[in-house]
Amino acid sequence: MCIVLKECRYVVKSFKPFQVVELANIAIDNGVVTCIGNCKPLQNCYELDCGSGIAVPGFVSMHTHVSADAETSGNSIDVIKKVLGLMLRYGYTAAHIVDADSEMLEDVCRLAEEIGMRISVGPLISSSKDLKKLSFLKFFKYTPYCLPSINISPVEDLDTNTLIAIKESISSYTTPLHIHIASSGDLSKTLDYYRKTGSWLITALDSLGLLTEKTCIAHASWITTWEIERVKERDSCIVLTPFADVVKGVHGMPHTLLFNINKLCFGIDNPWHRPSLSLLLDIIALQAVYSNRTWSFYPDTLQILHYITTLGATAIGSEAGIIEVGKRADIAILHLDQNALNKSISGFLLRGLAYNTKYTVVEGRVVWRVT
């Protein structure tokens, strides 16, 4: 399918480095960007007026719950469809799902391709009894819209034998596999784990071979500085959920050294506990806390957007994440208020994030538009 996004006010190709083109078209053919700028007319192309909008790389949520509570977890494909549909409205083009039932994996993958959302999904292991769920991975059909994963939560509650069994299962799986680990529920739980095992969590995972470039660790607030260095050495990913962790105070404050690792991503956590899926909530939450002078640190808007676009796409295993010729076209078109007093690009971006997107495009396919 050929499509042209016409006359975008701004095209933000990437946030780090910050690359922006003004008054540009984006031509897409067979799901791949073929031109940015003054593109020549293409035959038989569907044209979409970008107009007063900002084109940005599609957003990625690397920690997404689909259920409101444990009782409803994974019980309805309609619930998952509603969550993914809401995410598309806010410009998310990919998501890691934490809590879909193993029996539903095939249906969830089919749904993802149907509505046009890239997902990472797999069995949730929270006790040794759940090891049998790993068998579902044998029947997993890898597609660009559905990437296999194993979810471990909460890892402090699992014994060494269970973790070893997970590692052995991963070793026998030929398709690239994403490992998603939720940790550090609270400080007392972290300290109890250390007293029981004589090892900090990240160190223990590393010794078992579960800390790799395919590993993402969510809620890593209670983490030592030497564990952060280990994460950097293994090129693993840390996932922050700012609205849940910072505003609601669930998991404590992430250490500022986390912002120096190679892979730092964001997640919306539980959409049912948020007034909106707007990224603006997460940006404000994170910046508000670190604006305190005692931290001597302030993550700017463009830095945060880099985490939830380029780095998120890398962590989930997608080839998108930037708007560039030859890359897959996962793009969000944000609203732009031409009458806004603040004419800076950051001001425009923040205002655009407060609303539903004008269009969300995945693999060159318009999967959401304002009606």
* Lowest model confidence (mean pLDDT) among 44-53, 176-185, 264-273: 176-185
Instruction: Tell me the per-residue pLDDT of 23-32, one tens digit each, with 9 for 90 and over.
Output: 999 999 999 9
Confidence of residue 74 (pLDDT cuts 50, 70, 90): very low
To the question of pTM greater than 0.85 for the whole model, the response is yes
Element (H, E) at 226: helix 225-234
pLDDT at site 338: 62
Q: What is the pLDDT of residue 169?
A: 83
User: Tens digits of per-residue pLDDT, 157-183?
Assistant: 888 889 888 888 888 776 667 888 887
The alpha-helical segments, DSSP class H, found in 52-159 are 77-89, 105-115
For 327-359, how does the pLDDT look when each residue is reduced to its tens digit (9 = 90+)?
A: 999 999 998 766 654 567 777 788 888 888 999
CA distance 187 to 308: 27
Q: Which domains does the chain have, with CATH numbers?
A: 2-57+321-369 (2.30.40.10), 59-316 (3.20.20.140)
Assess whether pLDDT exceeds 80 at residue 314: yes
What is the amino acid identity at position 296?
S
Spatial CB neighbours of 26, under 8 Å, sequence gap ≥ 6: 4, 5, 8, 11, 33, 35, 36, 39, 50, 55, 323, 329, 331
With bands split at pLDDT 50, 70 and 90, how would you rate the model's confidence at 293?
low
Residue 42 identity: L
**Secondary element (H or E) of residue 217:** strand 215-218
- Strands of 98-166 (E only): list them: 118-121, 124-125, 146-152
